[in-house]
Amino acid sequence: MTVDETQADKIVDGRFLEPPEPFLLTMEALDTIRPGETVLLRLCREPLPLYRALQLNGYAWETSCLDDGTFEILIRHRAE
């Protein structure tokens, strides 16, 4: 199921970027959001290491996989 772009306050499209750019851009985006806001990350692969980093640092996320293989990860502060 595609995440509605309007739900996201920031969008990071990492599909055509080489590591570690998507990771760094996601971190930068998370730095700027306030509680209640979200970051949407799009990638061509499931970012397992990112999940651990998010878990350790107080974020919650929802992952969905589109038919074309794109992974969409919607991230927000955990305490919401």
Partner 1 sequence: MQALLSYDQSPPIAAPFRFFLTAPVFGILAGLLVMHAGPNAFMSRWTPEALALTHLITVGFMLQVMLGALIQILPVVAGANIVRPSLIAGVVHCAITVGALLLAAAFLTFAPWMFVGSSLLLFSGGAVFLGASGWAMRGVPATGPTISGLKTAISGLAVTVALGVAMAFGMSGWFDLPLMQLADIHLGWGLLVWGIGLLAAVAYVVVPMFQITPAYPEWFVRRFVPSLLVVASAWTIAVFGGWDVPLLVAALALIGMFGLFAGVTLFLQRRSKRASFDTNQHCWRGAMLSLLSGGGVWLAARSVPEIGEWPGLPILCGVLVMYGGFVSVITGMLYKIVPFLTWLHLQNFGQGVLMAPNMKKIIAERTMHRQMLSHFFAGILLVLAVFWPETMAMPAGAAVVVSQAWLAMNLCSAVRVFRRHSRLIAEKRANT
Query: Where do contacts with partner 1 occur on this chain (CB under 8 A)?
Result: 16-20, 27-28, 30-31, 44-46, 48-49, 52-54, 56-57, 69
Sorted by sequence, the CB contacts under 8 Å of residue 66 that are 6+ apart come out as 2, 72
**In terms of DSSP bridges, do strands 59-65 and 10-13 run parallel, antiparallel, or are they unpaired?**
unpaired
Q: What are phi and psi of 48, to 5 degrees?
A: -55, -45
Q: Please, which residue, 6 or 52, has the CB nearer to partner 1? A: 52
Q: How far is the CB of 46 from partner 1 (least distance, A)?
A: 8
Q: How far is the CB of 42 from partner 1 (least distance, A)?
A: 14
Sorted by sequence, the CB contacts under 8 Å of residue 60 that are 6+ apart come out as 54, 75, 76, 77, 78, 80
Q: Please, which residue, 56 or 79, has the CB nearer to partner 1? A: 56
Q: Please, which residue, 7 or 57, has the CB nearer to partner 1? A: 57
